[in-house]
Amino acid sequence: MTEDQVGRVLAVHLPGVDGLCAGCRRWWARLVPYPCYQAEWAARWRARVATRLFLDGSS
Ligand SMILES: [Zn+2]
């Protein structure tokens, strides 16, 4: 998985006005509370990379 792909996931899976994931509803007609699985996964991936960069930079 690349930064580019993760960015695309985050760009699609956004919170809707009703608290549901707008991306899931639009692309898969699924009513899922935000953050959905994909959004959570992408956010975790970002956090992990940021932590690694932080640790690398401080050593
Ligand atoms: Zn979603």
Domain edges within the chain: 3-58
Cα separation of the two ends of the chain:
26
CB within 5 A of ion ligand 1: which residues?
13, 21, 23-24, 36, 38
CB 45 within 8 A of CB 33: no
Residue 59: predicted pLDDT: 56
Q: How far is the CA of 7 from the centre of ligand 1 (A)?
A: 13
pLDDT in tens, 9-46: 999 999 999 999 999 999 999 999 999 999 999 999 99
Q: How far is the CA of 35 from the centre of ligand 1 (A)?
A: 7
Residue the block writes with tokens 């994909």: 38
Count Cβ atoms below 10 Å from residue 39 Cβ, excluding itself.
20
